[in-house]
A and B are shown apart, each in its own frame.
With several copies, the nearest count.
Chain A
Amino acid sequence: MRSSSFISLLGLALMLRPCAAAEFKPEATSSSTIPATMNRVYVADPALPHMVDGRVYVLDASDLSLKGMLEAGFAGMMVAAPDKHRVYVATTFYERLTRGKRTDVIQVFDDQTLKVIDEIPILTRRAQALGYRSLFQRSSDGRLLFIQNATPATSVSIVDPDSKRQLEAPAPGCFGIYPALSTPLRFSTLCGDGTVGTYTITANLRSADRKVSGKLFDAGADPLFIHAEHDQDSYIFLSFKGKLLRASLEGERATAIETLDIIPADATGWAPGGYQPFAVDAKAKIAYILMHSDDKDGAHKNPSAEIWSYDIGNKRLLARSPAANLTSLTLSAVDPTVLFAINPVDQKIERLTIDATGKVSRSADIKLGETAALVEAPR
């Protein structure tokens, strides 16, 4: 018997149809879509207790209500392309859920229907890592995608999502991808010897030339977080001990511009921490940093006790605001007075508001996710 056999019942069932038809109009069901104009917050949750089933939650930035989700599979990575109304999710599938042939792809989601509209096969070497922003990036013109690989030997896959052409650039000893802000065919990476490698790709995706900077940081004494932000023309990195390194990644070789120490003398023991430990307002040149006290070796992922607002242009600490239990922070791309954060302790996503003095306070939250680590508000 197939379900088609139910056809024999059709006449009978019409007879049995509930009456009171005059006053009652049966409802219809349908599928929702997300308005193009809605400002979005994406929360990437690898769902560690069930890693095969990671997801990216889509929230309305105005009230943090949940609007939908994207399948992120096993240790998936996401990057939004608001200009194209797409969200890219790089992930791994196995033939039998947890075993069998490994297939790595970039799933291309429409950001209104949340359906997969394309799939780009990639090398089965992508880093199956926590979804740090710098592990999956777009070129400044949005034409290329950059994916961090690790086998554990490291390289970067450069992918054209339209032509599906790809190039693998070896990047031994280096990790994290930082696309040049003005040169679409260029990106940099942080290396364990304290240098920065900068890659310039040929337009035909045939090869990438690598140039190494001088030593820009000390990966032993004061490592840089691999999460980075940028202002309008330079990248901003943050060290475990609370130094901001402003660097230009625009040329063939990276160069340091300046180093700023955000920790005043009266705040010994405070340090930044988390998976996405700071956000930068590119225009105002203000950094918002997740800070904890009683720092020690191994505390660099600790949840926050405060958010510090640091004025990069004027090199001064603007404000310290209480903000417990946050490990990831991002600034809204459309409203520089709004931050979004992940609170993994209470399993909440929070919305924070910045006042004119740089003070930060919570304005909304939603209970969501299990082990979320990356939050983005790109449109």
Chain B
Amino acid sequence: MSDIIIDRLMAAFDRAAELAFRRSAQSIGRRSALSGIGKLLVGGALLPVLPFDRSGQAHAQGASKPDANEASCDYWRYCALDGFLCSCCGGSVSSCPPGAEPSKVTWVGTCHNPVDGKDYLVSYNDCCGKTTCGRCLCNGNVGERPGYRMGVHNDINWCMANTQSMYHCTVSVLVGVADKK
């Protein structure tokens, strides 16, 4: 199931890491080129990094379909979320509270949606640059692995690559349907 995707991503991560190790001296300054094309490959997973003019829209969408369970740690999307739910902190299930910015890099979970029976890839973006929210602490660990598989590790501050790296809370963003093969 999703293990296959994760394993393939991890293997790719390791290879890239090895490469990077060999040429670490030359590796500075390429991030801007990467983000320029609107994609960021992070911790082994590819996440769409959308221009901020779509943000309001995404939030309005979330607000118009409130999910009764999204303030509960048992909500299906949170299967690998370790942190404070942004939906308890002034944000929503996928939107950061005011003043906080989504993390540029994330960890990824694969969670089963009981409604449609599908498994989804969930990007857990930390929201960054404000003090820790402190409400609705959840600790899901499905598919979570130690930091040597960084892209699925959740005991670390994923605001680490943001200019303002203080951790505020965590959102759960659906970024793909898991390959069933």
| Bound: A226/B148 CA distance, A | 9
Residues in chain A near residue B89, CB distance under 8 A: 66, 68-69
A166, chain B: closest CB distance, angstroms: 16
Q: Is A2 close to B, CB under 8 A?
A: yes
A279, chain B: closest CB distance, angstroms: 18
Residues in chain B near residue A13, CB distance under 8 A: 9, 12, 41, 45-46
B159, chain A: closest CB distance, angstroms: 8
Q: A24-B177, A193-B14, A226-B148 given as contacts; is B132 within 8 A of A2 (CB)? A: no
A31: nearest chain-B partner, CB-CB:
B96
User: Does the CB pair B155–A225 fall under 8 Å?
Assistant: no
What are the interface flags for A158-184 relative to B under an 8 Å C-beta threshold, 1 for contact and 0 otherwise? 000000000000111111100000000
What are the interface flags for B34-55 relative to A under an 8 Å C-beta threshold, 1 for contact and 0 otherwise? 1000011111111010101011
A125: nearest chain-B partner, CB-CB:
B160
Q: Is A301 close to B, CB under 8 A?
A: yes
Contact of B46 (CB < 8 Å), options: A14, A27, A50: A14
What are the interface flags for A68-82 relative to B under an 8 Å C-beta threshold, 1 for contact and 0 otherwise? 111100110000000
A65: nearest chain-B partner, CB-CB:
B90
B147, chain A: closest CB distance, angstroms: 3
User: Does the CB pair A223–B149 fall under 8 Å?
Assistant: yes
Q: Is A202 close to B, CB under 8 A?
A: no
| Bound: A55/B99 CA distance, A | 13
A57, chain B: closest CB distance, angstroms: 9
Chain B interface helix/strand/loop/mixed: mixed
User: Does the CB pair A220–B14 fall under 8 Å?
Assistant: no
| Bound: A161/B13 CA distance, A | 33
Q: Is A338 close to B, CB under 8 A?
A: no
A296: nearest chain-B partner, CB-CB:
B142
Contact of A129 (CB < 8 Å), options: B84, B140, B147: B147
Q: A31-B100, A98-B129, A192-B149 given as contacts; is B144 within 8 A of A170 (CB)? A: no
Q: Is A29 close to B, CB under 8 A?
A: yes
Contact of A226 (CB < 8 Å), options: B57, B146, B178: B146
Q: Is B73 close to A, CB under 8 A?
A: no
Residues in chain B near residue A152, CB distance under 8 A: 42-43, 105, 150, 156, 158, 160-161
B153, chain A: closest CB distance, angstroms: 8
Top 5 A-B pairs, shortest CB-CB distance: A30-B55, A172-B17, A5-B20, A175-B147, A18-B176
9 pairs across A/B with beta carbons < 8 Å?
A3-B42, A27-B173, A51-B166, A68-B97, A70-B99, A97-B131, A170-B21, A175-B148, A176-B147
12 additional A-B pairs beyond A16-B12, A29-B96, A223-B146, beta carbons within 8 Å, are A5-B17, A9-B16, A24-B176, A31-B55, A31-B102, A32-B97, A70-B99, A92-B165, A94-B166, A150-B150, A150-B160, A174-B17
Q: B residues near A, CB below 8 A? A: 3, 5-21, 24, 27-31, 33-34, 39-46, 48, 50, 52, 54-59, 79-80, 84, 88-92, 94-102, 105, 121, 123, 125, 127, 129-135, 137, 139-150, 153, 155-161, 164-167, 171, 173-179
